Amino acid sequence: MNKKIKKILNKKNKSKIVCLTAYSKNIAEILDKYCDIVLVGDSLGSVLYSYKSTKEVTLQTMINHSKSVRLGVEKSLMIFDMPYNTYRNPKEALKNAKLVMRETKCDAVKLEGGKKIISIVKQLVKNKIPVMGHVGILPQTDKKFRFKGKKQKESEKILNDTKLLENAGVFSIVLECIEIKLSKKITEQIKVPTIGIGSSVNCDGQVLVIDDLIGLSQSKFKFVKKYVDMAKIIEGAVKRYKLEVLKKKFPKVKHSFKN
């Protein structure tokens, strides 16, 4: 088993797992110092391209961004989020996942879904491709984005999905916007680590979209915490640059070449 995956598994019930998304090298390099997992999420569709849905994200776009992220990630586990319609059956999933692993040198792939994708997960795992699961809100296929686990029937289905995914061989599962008591129950009942987003502190680890955390996106989701307002900081720098250019204060001689 991949040593980095072993390390993630060993953290269950010992220490929290830190995960963030990255879409390019410069950010990835910073995250690599602090994160256990760097996820190249298909959230890049809305974050970078203003797509209405992650359905529009292509495999090639994900591969391009992942190649950039790979340049910045050394120590963390790097996960590639398989985009919509690239894993509709075991054969298609295997072909695309093999291409992704070869082209991007990522350590694992992530797939959205429960019972419906079990044969696909099994096919990848059988072929030594490590898989992370993803249940709760499924941005690729859900029509409405509302938290999951409000009703008992839905909770039972999600809990069952996580058990099926575990049996199929996933090494970890993202829980997206899952009700507090349900995320606790899942985390207690499965052996692989759960990584929460909007799913409370009960999960074994947490993931957020990096642009939300640093204040570069306009995200208003309840579960997001903005740790810094980078949009403001960048705007301040650009304003100062403009002023200096207009007043001929930049560039100075030290920024210029002289014989």
CB of 80 to ligand KIV, least distance (A): 11
Nearer to ligand KIV, 124 or 175 (CB): 175
Tell whether the torsion through CA atoms of 247, 253, 257 and 259 is positive or negative. positive
Confirm if 203 and 175 have CB atoms less than 8 A apart. Answer: yes
**What length is written for the chain?**
259
Residue nearest to ligand KIV (CB): 41
Q: Measuring CA to CA, which residue among 70, 18, 73, 64 is closest to residue 44? A: 64
Quote the CA–CA distance of 178 and 126 in Å, as a whole number.
29
Q: Rule CB under 6 A: say whether 196 interacts with ligand KIV.
A: no
Q: What torsion do the CA atoms of 180, 185, 190, 192 make, to the nearest 10 degrees?
A: 20
CB count, 10 Å around CB of 157? 15
Decide if residue 209 touches ligand KIV (CB under 6 A).
yes
> With respect to ligand KIV, which residue has the nearer C-beta, 43 or 123?
43
Using the structure block, give the residue that is written with the tokens 């569709």. Answer: 45
Residue 81 is a binding residue for ligand KIV (CB under 6 A) = yes
Candidates 207, 213, 214, 216; binder of ligand KIV (CB under 6 A) is: 207
Applying CB under 6 A, the site for ligand KIV has a residue count of 10
Check if 176 is active-site: yes
* 21 vs 126, beta carbon nearer ligand KIV: 21
User: What track of x and - describes contact with ligand KIV for positions 3 through 22 (by CB under 6 A)?
Assistant: ------------------x-
| Shortest Å distance, C-beta 81 to ligand KIV | 5
What stretch of H or E contains 155?
A: helix 152-168
Q: Pattern 224-243, binding to ligand KIV, x per CB under 6 A?
A: --------------------
Are the C-beta atoms of 193 and 9 separated by less than 8 Å?
A: yes
Active site residues per annotation: 176
Q: Which residues are near ligand KIV by CB under 6 A?
A: 21, 39, 41-43, 81, 174, 197, 207, 209
